[in-house]
Amino acid sequence: MTKTDPQPVADRDLDCAQCGAKTVATTWTDDALVWGSGDSAATLTVHIPYRSCSSCGCTYLDHEAEDIRHNAVCRHLGVKDPDELRRFGNRK
């Protein structure tokens, strides 16, 4: 992870993945995701939420970070991401 926003923001809607407490703070962080291998590897930079619990000290990435990473890979590959597919499927 390369760049971090200066102050974590308390996120009262989140339960800690470790202890279940509602004392989770979110810090948005730039993350370098390497996709592929060898000469064809690409480094994709994504801005993801990094969670930390002040009750138990657990730090983690959750589904939101994974969705952001997944969508970045889809854009890199030139395919629709899941959100785009859902919007496409809901068109009448």
**What pTM was estimated for this model as a whole?**
0.79
The pLDDT score that the predictor gives to residue 39 is 92
- Kindly report, residue by residue over 6-43, the tens digit of the pLDDT: 567 777 789 999 999 999 999 999 999 999 999 999 99
- Kindly report, residue by residue over 52-65, the tens digit of the pLDDT: 999 999 999 999 99
Helices (H), the chain: 63-77, 82-89
Q: Which domains does the chain have, with CATH numbers?
A: 9-83 (3.10.20)
Spatial distance between the Cα atoms of 49 and 5, rounded to a whole number of angstroms? 10
The pLDDT score that the predictor gives to residue 84 is 86
Query: Mean of the per-residue pLDDT values for the chain?
Result: 88
Reply yes or no on whether the pLDDT at 75 is more than 80: yes
